[in-house]
Amino acid sequence: MMNTVNRNRMRCSVKQFALILLPSLAVVSGCHSMVQEPRAAAGRYVITSGPLEIQVGDLGVDAVLWRDRCVFGDSFEHRSPVIEPQLITDQWQTLARVEESRSQMLEQTAERVRFTTCGSMAEVAGPGRWRFEQEWTVEAAGRLTLLYRLHEDVAPGKPLRHNRVMFLVDRKEVLAAATEHRADTPGNPVTMVERGGKEVATTFGAGEASTSQPAAVRLPFAGRMISLRLSENATWLQTWNAGWRQAVNVEFPAPKPAVECQVDISISELAGVGGPLTVQRLETRPAPWLAEPIPALPKPAAPLRFVQCTPSINQWHDADKLNPDETRKMATALARHFDVAELFVAYADWQYAKGWDTDPAARQVADRIAAKAQEWIDIGHQCGLNLALSLDFGGGEPGTGTSETRRLPQFQAERFAPDTGEFVKTKDQFDWANAKAREFAYQAWFAVAAKIKGVDFLFFNEPLYRLRPWYQAPFFSEAALGDFRAYCRDPRARFPAKPYACPTPRTDNSATLADWRRWEDWVADVYVRQIAIQCRAVADANRDNPRYQGAIWFQNVNWVGSDFGTDLDRICAISGVRYVVCEYCTSAASPHWRKFRYFAAKHGRFVGSFVNIGHYDAKSPGAVKYDGTVVAFEAACRMGVDENAAMVALYPADSFYPWSPAYNQERVNTWDKVMTEYLHKASE
């Protein structure tokens, strides 16, 4: 049920709403006078009520968590904001993007917190301009109310087909349990309520899980239900499973010139919700790449065209059974289009932990894997192709991967069980916070690298830690605690824990936001030491290899930051890292691209761009699906060329094999055309 204030506001006419908006919002400095209050504070906040936590940033709501599980949010990607206004044109293309946005805290009591996010949106390559406001009210009783206003200042060049608000939800809550969640993963039961009271029972993401007469939807969460109730002007509701993202999409009328709508969210069924509300301000981490000048990239002296995913070399898949003629066929095809290929030694079990000196069978397994990698390197070089040794994907790391760690109980990481206070060994996760484990890791990586001669690069394929929820991070062993205390220079330091967790001697239930930040910084330090050890081991094994050029650190831009232990500043400072590749970023204006450029320049590293020619899809020919247009693909390729990227990386290699069902002649020709310009530009 709507509270009285918001119910009255819903009666405002469109004309009245247009009058109360500011006449200009070219640079957002606050919200309109209707919600402005004295001493309104801008910034990032954490609102808590028992186990409920709402994180607020300048783009709006960054996460809604209960016992650190995502009510709204994505534990896999940590995308923000998690409740997002979207303007869509024909063929479901994005019509506009947010230009400016700012959040302000307006009211703080134990019973109610009110904040607002205001901003402007601009049409992509068009004249359209809009202003928006999200006014949020959080009540201690377990209710969140969103009052959303949108005003069109300048009409767009393309039609606005869908004015919607996306509520991001976690795949772990709305989809059936699965090793890998996909678009066809069955959804959990949901109930949609249509206007007039009709209830429709369905499953999340199913074909019938939408309605043009929406009144409410009830979603599963933690064995209970949460609900979203919509204002009467809602025109459509959909539960959406795209595999890579899950959301509830709610549509409202287009602004003519303004529209106002409301969503009431009830989470009162969740245990522990209902206590007094508290608000803490978060200090924003410095982001110098957003404001400081970044020198233009110099024209690369030796630009590199890089391709991912040659056939995986391991003892289970068929790729390691390729004969030399088949390997030469692949290397020859790739060398026509690329300078460097990822040598994908994935899902392998090197059996180093068994002890090669005492177990001849284990040594033979390692020798066979190394021999196949060596065959690829030798033939690749004969064909004019450089190879980047990729060891860290699919749990196949020597000495530290999944199979290896299961043999090493003394080096297994530990997680925390907050309900019981137990510390549980993770049998397939290596304890990189353990000093003795790190020594062992160096020996294993060196031993494997020494078996493979003439490699050109080391390749890191998206290594990261997941710190949400915090208690599942593999950093709670006694050895890790000692490392944490050494990092903090405090012999009594304990790991931070949330108040709802069972107290233990290793954890601190009264941890402050500063304590949590210190823990995140320590995890980032552990990560850097891990990458540095792996770089050093491979470099030491290649001291007599004149071809070896260092490491390529390749990372999804959505997985760079404190939530994943990946501090780009520290990573670029690692002496063994030579290239950093900005994966899934095709816009030179993106803050992600600026961030990679900034820290690469600061530490003297080369920066690489990235483009998908297609993406993995098991049901498509050759397991590669092609989305978007060739024009868009060409623009993505050209971004790296225009920016003078030292490397342009592409995924996947399958698209370039003429005999493969995944082969795409038109896109291959497009790549070659742009890359010819890339190489010519460097030679001028």
DSSP letters of 547-609?
T---EEEEEEGGG-BGGGTB-HHHHHT-TTEEEEEEET---TT-HHHHHHHHHHHHHT-EEEE
Cite the residue boundaries of each domain of the chain with CATH code 3.20.20.80: 301-683
The answer to whether the CB of 538 falls within 8 A of the CB of 552 is no
**Distance in angstroms (rounded) separating the CA atoms of residues 129 and 23:** 12
**Distance in angstroms (rounded) separating the CA atoms of residues 663 and 254:** 42
- pLDDT per residue as tens digits for the range 393-408: 888 899 999 999 999 9
| 52-57 vs 60-66, strand pairing mode | antiparallel
The answer to whether the CB of 520 falls within 8 A of the CB of 467 is yes
pLDDT in the model for residue 31? 32
3-state DSSP of 493-532: CCEECCCCCCCCCCEECCCCHHHHHHHHHHHHHHHHHHHH
Query: 132 phi and psi, to 5 degrees?
Result: -135, 160
**Distance in angstroms (rounded) separating the CA atoms of residues 50 and 67:** 9
pLDDT in the model for residue 395? 86
Q: Give SS3 for 172.
A: helix
pTM score of the predicted model: 0.88
- H/E element, 6: helix 4-9
Beta bridge partners of 217: 192, 228
Cite the residue boundaries of each domain of the chain with CATH code 2.70.98: 4-282
- Domain topology for 4-282: Beta-galactosidase; Chain A, domain 5 (2.70.98)
Mean pLDDT by 10 residues, the chain (684 residues): 34 30 27 30 81 94 95 86 95 93 95 97 97 98 97 98 97 90 92 96 90 97 96 98 94 98 96 92 91 93 93 66 91 98 92 97 95 96 98 91 97 98 97 99 98 98 94 98 99 97 98 96 99 99 98 97 96 99 95 97 98 90 91 96 97 96 97 95 84
**Distance in angstroms (rounded) separating the CA atoms of residues 496 and 488:** 13
State in Å, rounded, how far the first CA of the chain is from the last one.
68
pLDDT in the model for residue 317? 56
The answer to whether the CB of 485 falls within 8 A of the CB of 493 is yes
| Of the candidates 169, 298, 156, 290, the residue with the CA atom closest to the CA atom of residue 228 | 169
Query: Taking the alpha carbons of 622, 625, 630, 633 in that order, is the dihedral positive or negative?
Result: negative
Sheet holding 52-57, edge to edge: 69-72, 60-66, 52-57, 44-49, 278-282
The CATH class given to the 301-683 domain equals alpha beta
